[in-house]
Structure 1
Amino acid sequence: MAVLRVKFTKTKRDKLAQVLWILNWISVVTGAILFSLGLFLKVELHKQGEVMAERDIQYVPNMLIAVGLIACAINFLGGKICYDCVDTTKFLRWKLIMLPYIICTFFFTFCVLVGALMCYCMHWELEESLNLGLTEAMRFYKDTDTPGRCFLKRTVDMLQMQFQCCGNNGYKDWFQIQWISNRYLDMSQKEVVDRIRSNVNGKYLLDGVPFSCCNINSPRPCIQQQITNDSAHFNYEHQTEELNLWMKGCRQALLEYYTHIMQSIGLTVLITWLFELSVLTGVRYLQTSLENVLRQGDPNSESDGYLLENSFMETARMNLNIIKSLGKGNQIDTATNGDPNINVPSTSKAHYGPDNVPPKQITEDS
C-alpha cells in the first residue's frame, strides 16, 4: 500500500511543477545564505584565533560553506527539472535521473540537519578551546619582545576592552601570573627583589591587573594596584567596589557572544532544512505522478502521487533483501576469483557416485 497517496489532475501537476520551480530557485538563495553564514562564522572565529587553543573548531563553518555550495548546485538542477516537467514529453529526459536526484537530495537534507545540530553541539568544544587559549595568552602577556608573542598584549587588552571582561574566569586570574615583564622591574628596589624571592617559581606576582580591566563606568579613578588592600586607598573596600573593574571573565563573555551567533545560525539552518525537506517532498510527488501518467499513456489523465510505493516495512524489507543478494553475489565472486567459467563443486549427495557413495569410497571398495 502506497504511503500518503494523492491524486493529481493535469492542472494540479502543472501547478505543482511551476511552484517547485520557484521554490527551487528560492532554495538556491538559501544555499547562498548558508554559504555566507559559514563564511561569517569562520571570520568571527579567526578574529579571536590568538586566544583560542589549536583545536578543530573550524569544522562547523566549513560544513556550512560546503552545504551552501552543494545546495546551490542541487537546487539549480532541481529548478531545471521541475521547469521541464510541465511538459510530459520533456519529462522523459529526466525520468532516469530523477530517482537518483531525489536520493542524493534526501541525503543532502540530512547533512543540513546535521549542520544545524552541530551549531548547537559546538558549545563545549568552544568553551574548552577558549579556556586553554586565554590561559596561554595571559601567560605570555608580558613577552612583548618574543617573536610570535609580541602582539598578544595588544590582543588581550583589546579583547578585555571590547567585551568588557577581565582575565579568564575573572580579574583574580591576573594575581596568579606574572604579567609585567622583567625589563620594567627595578631590581635595585628591595620590595621588588623580596617579592620575587618570596615566590617559589621566582615570579613577580602582585594583586594588580592591566589597565584594560578598568571599568569605564566606574565613578572613581581606576584602581589597578593593591586591589585587595583596602588601607592603600581612601574610602575603598575591594569586596564592594564591583564597578571599578570588569567582573565578568573573558571566557564567559566570548562564550556568550559565540553562543548567540551559533544559536542564530543553527535556527536559520534548521528552517532551511524544513524548507528543503518540503521541496524534496513536492519533487517526489511530481516524479511518481508523472511516472504513473507514462504508464497510462494519456498525458491528460489523472494519476496518483505518493512518497513510497509500498509501506515503510515492505520498503525496508525489500531494500534489505537487495543488500543481502548483493552480499551473496560478492561471496560467489570471491569464491570463483571473479571467473564465471569456474564451477564451484557442490557438497550435495546428489552429485556423488552410485548409491550416493562418494567417488573415493567407491574406488576403495572396488
Structure 2
Amino acid sequence: MRKKVKIEFGKILPRTKPSRSQETETPSEPASGDEEKSAKLVAVKCGRPEFDITFRTIKLLTAMSLSLIILCILFSLKLFASSIGIRKHLGQYINMVSEGDGSKLPVLQAIPVLCFFLVDVAFVFFIFKIFDRKKQNKFNWFLYILLMMSVALICITFILLIVVLSHVYSENEGLHNGIVEAMNNYSGNSLYKKRIDRLQIEFQCCGSKKYDEWYNIKWYDTSLVKKAATDNTQGNTPFSCCSISSIFPCIHHNIETTGKAYLYTPEQNLSISTKGCYDGLRKKTKEVGWSIVGNLVLFIILQVALVICLRFLQTAHYAKNRFEGHSRLYTVWLFGCASAGKNLTVVPPEPPPVPEELMS
C-alpha cells in the first residue's frame, strides 16, 4: 500500500527511494553558461569556413584590420607618387615623340591605387561605427558594400596587370614613327630638336633603331655649311649622339672615314652611341612595367588580407548588429550568406520529470 505524503507549504518532504523507472530516466540539466554563449544567433547558408570566435578574437581582428589599413594607405600614397615620377621621367620622353603613350603606364598604376585609397579611408570610419553600443543596421550594410567594392577593385586590378604586360611587350610602331618624324623635323623645328637631343643624351642612344638613320636626314642648316661638306655618305650625326662612356674624343662628322686627327678609325674607336632610341625606350618601358606589376601584386596581397579580416568583423557584427562584449560567442564566415530570419530562437532545456509522490 502506497504511503500517503502530506504536502504542506514551508515543510520538507521526506526522502523516498526512487523507483526503477525513475532511475533509468535521467533528468536533463539546465544549460550552463558556456552552452548559452555558444547558442547560434544566425543561420549561415553555405558558409565556408564557418566557426565561432570570442570577443577577444574580435579585438585582435580589429587591430589587424587597422594595421593593414594604415599600411595600405601609406603604400597607396607611395605608388601614387611613383606614378607621378614615371610620368615626369619616362612618360615625358615618350610623349616627346609619341603624344599620349607616355601617360599609359602611370595612369594604369594610379587609377586602382587611388580607388583603393578612398575605400580604405571609408573602412576606418565604419570600423569605429560598428563598435557603437547601439544597433547599427545600416553601418553593417555599408561595410558589406565596401567589401564588395574592394573585391571588385581587386579583380579589376588583375585585369590591369594583364593590360600593363601587353603594353610593355607590344611592338608600338607608333613610337618608332614618332622618333623618325622628330628626326626629320630636327633642323626646321627647335622644339623637335630639343626633344631629340634630350632623348639621345638621357638614354645614350642615336637614331630610332640605329645611328646610321641620321645619314639620310638633313639635320643641320645646309646654308651654314660648305657645299662640299654636305655629303652625308661618310656619316654625320648630331652632337647629342656622342657616347658619354667613350674615352675617345667625339667624332660625329665623317664617322665612316678614317682620319689622321686623333688617330680615328670607326672600327676601333667609334665614339657615338650605337644603340637606337626605340630599343632604349622599350627596354626602360619593360623595366618600369615590371616594377608596376610587382608593386600592384604586393598591394593586392595586402588588400586581400584586409578584406578577409574585415569580412570576419562584418559577419560577427551581423547577428545583432552590435558587439556585446564577452557575453557570447560570434559566428563568422568568409563565403556564403545568412539565411532568412537570421535570429534563431534558443530552445530552453526540458524541465525535469515530476516525482511520483507529487502526482498522487
TM-score relative to the length of structure 2: 0.71
Measured at CA, do residues 234 and 44 of structure 1 come closer, stay the same or move farther in structure 2, by a change above 3 Å?
closer
Letter of the aligned partner of 1:276 in structure 2?
Answer: Q
| Equivalent-residue separation in structure 1 for 2:254 and 2:322 (angstroms) | 88
Letter of the aligned partner of 1:227 in structure 2?
Answer: I
What secondary structure, in the 3-state scheme, does the structure 1 residue paired with 2:272 have? Answer: coil
Aligned to 2:67: 22
Structure 2: which 5+ runs fail to align?
1-45, 338-360
Aligned to 1:260: 287
State the number of aligned residues: 292
Structure-to-structure mapping, 1:85-164, within 5 angstroms: 85-87=130-132, 89=134, 91-125=136-170, 127-143=172-188, 149-164=189-204
Aligned to 2:12: none
Aligned to 1:9: 54
Aligned to 1:178: 218
| Equivalent-residue separation in structure 2 for 1:158 and 1:298 (angstroms) | 65
1:117-169 Cα shifts (integer Å, max 9, x gaps): 333332145843431221111111111xxxxx312223222322222211111
Question: For 1:36, which of 81, 89, 100 is the aligned residue?
Answer: 81
Where is the helix percentage greater, Structure 1 or Structure 2? Answer: 1
Measured at CA, do residues 205 and 140 of structure 1 come closer, stay the same or move farther in structure 2, by a change above 3 Å?
farther
Question: For 2:257, which of 204, 229, 236 is the aligned residue?
Answer: 229
RMSD: 3.0
Structure 2 residue 125 is matched with structure 1 residue 80:
yes
What secondary structure, in the 3-state scheme, does the structure 1 residue paired with 2:52 have? Answer: strand
Question: For 2:246, which of 214, 218, 225 is the aligned residue?
Answer: 218
Aligned to 2:266: 238
Q: How far does residue 298 in structure 1 lie from its aligned partner after superposition? A: 9.2
What secondary structure, in the 3-state scheme, does the structure 1 residue paired with 2:165 have? Answer: helix
What secondary structure, in the 3-state scheme, does the structure 2 residue paired with 1:230 have? Answer: coil
Aligned to 2:209: 169
Measured at CA, do residues 178 and 34 of structure 1 come closer, stay the same or move farther in structure 2, by a change above 3 Å?
same
TM-score relative to the length of structure 1: 0.69
Structure-to-structure mapping, 1:203-214, within 5 angstroms: 206-214=234-242
Aligned to 1:301: 328
Structure-to-structure mapping, 1:325-336, within 5 angstroms: none
| Equivalent-residue separation in structure 1 for 2:253 and 2:291 (angstroms) | 41
1:26-47 Cα shifts (integer Å, max 9, x gaps): 3222232232222222222442
Q: How far does residue 284 in structure 1 lie from its aligned partner after superposition? A: 1.2
Identity rate of aligned residues, in percent? Answer: 19
**Contact in 2 for aligned 1:170/1:248 (Cα 8 Å):** yes
Aligned to 2:275: 248
Q: Structure 1 residues 32-41 or 168-177, which shifts more?
A: 32-41
Q: How far does residue 17 in structure 1 lie from its aligned partner after superposition? A: 2.0
What secondary structure, in the 3-state scheme, does the structure 1 residue paired with 2:190 have? Answer: coil
Letter of the aligned partner of 2:212 in structure 1?
Answer: K
What secondary structure, in the 3-state scheme, does the structure 1 residue paired with 2:47 have? Answer: coil
Q: Which one has a bigger Cα radius of gyration? A: 2
Q: Structure 1 residues 270-279 or 41-50, which shifts more?
A: 41-50
| Equivalent-residue separation in structure 2 for 1:124 and 1:133 (angstroms) | 18
Q: How far does residue 279 in structure 1 lie from its aligned partner after superposition? A: 0.5
